[in-house]
Amino acid sequence: MADIPHFDLPFKIHGSSFMVSEQGSIDDVGNCVEAIMRCPIGFRTEALTFGVDDLVFNMQPISNEALKQTVAAQEPRADLDWYEVQDRFNELYVQIVLDVRLAAGGR
């Protein structure tokens, strides 16, 4: 069991327990980055600046540097690299693949 547990993202149940990750671990930082990337700005009424600009109808390629700065400002423990993968069946669909590492000075 984690000393300071955080619910895993996406929320998972294994048997009769909830899956958790240790605060400050790479799993925890990765979960935080995923939460930021999945949340459009303005979606959370208690934190209106949380998240990223809605990317659904953006033209490709997506501005990686602007997105990286937005995520870095909200999750300074993460060092990010990513790339875009074109969908095989629909050229209008692109998936962003993230590589998340603990930033220098992280845990």
Per residue in 33-60, pLDDT (tens digit) is 989 988 999 999 999 999 998 877 766 6
CA-to-CA distance for 4 and 22, rounded, in angstroms?
A: 6
The predicted-structure confidence for 4-39, as pLDDT tens digits, reads as follows: 888 888 788 888 988 888 888 999 999 999 899 889
Could you report the per-residue pLDDT of 58-97, keeping only the tens digit for each? 666 666 778 888 899 999 999 988 888 888 898 878 787 8
Q: Tell which residue, 78, 72, 74, has the closest CA to residue 101.
A: 78
Amino acid letter, residue 95: Q
Domains of the chain: 5-102 (3.10.450)
Q: Which amino acid is at 22?
A: E
The predicted structure's pLDDT at residue 93: 80
